[in-house]
Amino acid sequence: MRKLLFVLTSLISVKSLAVARFPKPDFTSGYEYPDIVHGLPNESFWNVLDVVLLVGMMGLVVWAAYRKRSRAVIFSMSLVSVLYFGFFRSGCVCSVGSIQNVIIAAVDGGYHLPLYVLLVFLLPIIFALLFGRVFCSGVCPLGALQELINVKNFRLSRSVSVTLSIIPWIYLAFTILYAATRSQFLICRLDPFIGIFRFGGDIGVMSFGFVLLVMSVFVGRPFCQFICPYGALLSVFSALSWKKLEITGKGCVNCALCGVSCPVDAIRAPQSNRTKEERRKGVRRVIVLSLLLPVLTFVGAKLVGSQSDALSLAHKDVYLYELLLRQEANPELEEPLEVETFHAMGGDMAELKEKVDAVRSDYVFYSHLAGALIGFVIGFKLMKLSLKRGRKTYEISMARCTMCGKCFNYCPQNLKTPEK
C-alpha cells in the first residue's frame, strides 16, 4: 500500500512540475503553426541506376543482334527487365509514359522536365535511329512480359494487321491532346500492366491487362503491335535507322523458316514469288493516294475538332463548370459533391468560366491537331499497303521488328558450323 501511494505521489509531483516548467503556449498572441515539411526519399541513386541499366541492356541487345545473332542474350534481358523495371521499380517512370511529360514541357514553358525523364524518353529513340527498336526487344518491361509467355503465333492478314496498327497512333493523338491541355495522363491511367507489376489497381484496367497476357500466349506482343503509342514513335525512327538488321550474314536461301518464326510478322517474303503488277497501274494508284493524303488529314482534323467541347469534359474545371450549370438549371436535383465543395470553398463562377474558356480554346487547337495526325496516318497506311517493292530474299521490316531474335535460331545459315 505504501509503495502504491509513493508511486501515485511521484506521478502527481512530476506532472505538476511539468506543467509549471512547460506552460501551455498562448495562441491568442498571433502564434501560427509552423509548416511541416516531410522529406522525400532520395531517388537520385535509383534514377541513375535506371539510366545505366537502360543503356547497358540496350547495348547488350545491339551486340547480341548484330554481332552474335543470339536470342539467348535478348531473352535474358527480358527476364531482367520484368524483374527490375517491372516488379521492383513498379513500371514507373517508363519510356511509354514519359511521352506525356515531354508533351507538357513542350507546350508549357513553366513546367520543369526532370533530366531523368528526358533521358528515359530520348535514349530508346536514339538507339532506334542507330540500330532499330532495341528498346522493344527485351528492355521494355511491357514488351518483355509478353515475350516471356509467348508460345505460338496465329497469323493475321497484312491488311488486318496494318488496320490494327492505326490504333497506337489514335492512342498517341489523344495522349497529346489530354497532356497538352493538362487534363489527364491517359497512358498512366490506361496502362494495362502497371496494376500487375504493383499487385493492385483499377480492376477494369487490370482485367484488360490479363486478357492481353492470355492473348500474348498465342499472338506475338498484342500490346506492342496494336496499342503502344511509344512503339508507334519508335517504328518511325527505326524505319530510318542507320544500321539494318539482317537475319544471317551468310546469305539467305529463301527457306521461309524465319518468316514463320517471327511473332510480329516483321519479315517480308520475296516479291519474286508473287504475280507482278503492271507498273503503270501501281504508279497511278500511288498518285491517287498521294493526292488523297492531305484530304484525309483535313477531314480527320475537322471530325475530331468538331468534338472539342465534348472532349474538354475530361478537364476537371470544364467538368465542374458543366455540373454547376446543370445544378443552376435544375435546383431540385441532389447537389453533387463537387458542386457542394465549390460553394463551400467560396468559388467564383466568373473566375471558373474564364478558366474554362481558356481550356476550351486549347481543346479547339489540339483536337484539330490530333485529328490531323489520325487522318494523316490513315492515308499513309493506305499508301504503304499499295507500295510493292521488289525483294529477292527474305528481309526484315525495321519499322515492325521488335528484335526478339527468334528468327536467328530458325535460320539454317546461322546453325551451320564453319568448315575446318
pLDDT band at 172 (very low <50, low <70, confident <90, very high): very high
4 pLDDT more than 50: no
Q: What per-residue confidence (pLDDT) applies to 8?
A: 45
Grid cell listed for 325: 450549370
Q: Where are the domains of the chain?
A: 45-274+397-409, 279-385
Q: What per-residue confidence (pLDDT) applies to 356?
A: 95
Interaxial angle between packed helices 98-107 and 229-239, expressed in degrees from 0 to 180 and rounded to the nearest 10: 80
pLDDT band at 36 (very low <50, low <70, confident <90, very high): low
Q: What per-residue confidence (pLDDT) applies to 155?
A: 78
Return d(Cα 249, Cα 247) in angstroms, integer.
Answer: 7
What is the largest distance, in Å, between two alpha-carbon atoms of the chain? Answer: 116
CA-angle at 219, arms to 216 and 221, nearest 5° = 60
Per-residue pLDDT averaged across 88-117, rounded? 91
298 pLDDT more than 90: yes
pLDDT band at 201 (very low <50, low <70, confident <90, very high): confident
Return d(Cα 196, Cα 182) in angstroms, integer.
Answer: 27
401 pLDDT more than 80: yes
268, β-bridge pairs: 395
Return d(Cα 82, Cα 140) in angstroms, integer.
Answer: 8
pLDDT band at 28 (very low <50, low <70, confident <90, very high): low
User: Tens digit of pLDDT for each residue in 375-390?
Assistant: 999 999 888 877 776 7
Per-residue pLDDT averaged across 34-55, rounded? 76
Cα distances from 56 to residues 86, 124, 145, in angstroms, run: 17, 12, 19
Per-residue pLDDT averaged across 299-307, rounded? 96
Grid cell listed for 34: 509552423
Q: What per-residue confidence (pLDDT) applies to 309?
A: 94
Number of residues in the chain = 420
41 pLDDT more than 70: no
The whole model's pTM is what?
Answer: 0.85
pLDDT band at 417 (very low <50, low <70, confident <90, very high): low
Q: What per-residue confidence (pLDDT) applies to 283?
A: 75
Which stretches of 297-409 are assigned E, i.e. beta strand?
395-396
Q: What is the DSSP letter of 183?
A: S
Q: What per-residue confidence (pLDDT) applies to 412?
A: 86
Q: What per-residue confidence (pLDDT) applies to 25?
A: 55
Cα distances from 319 to residues 7, 310, 339, in angstroms, run: 64, 10, 10
5 pLDDT more than 50: no
Q: Are 386 and 282 in contact (CB under 8 A)?
A: yes
Q: List, in order, residues 6 or more apart from 231 with CB less than 8 Å away.
A: 133, 136, 143, 168, 224, 225
* Lowest-pLDDT range of 131-135, 253-257, 357-361: 253-257
210 vs 34, more confident: 210
Q: What per-residue confidence (pLDDT) applies to 247?
A: 87
57 pLDDT more than 90: yes
Per-residue pLDDT averaged across 217-235, rounded? 94
Q: Are 132 and 401 in contact (CB under 8 A)?
A: yes
User: Tens digit of pLDDT for each residue in 307-366?
Assistant: 999 999 999 999 999 999 998 888 888 888 888 899 888 889 999 999 999 999 999 999
* Lowest-pLDDT range of 238-247, 296-305, 411-420: 411-420
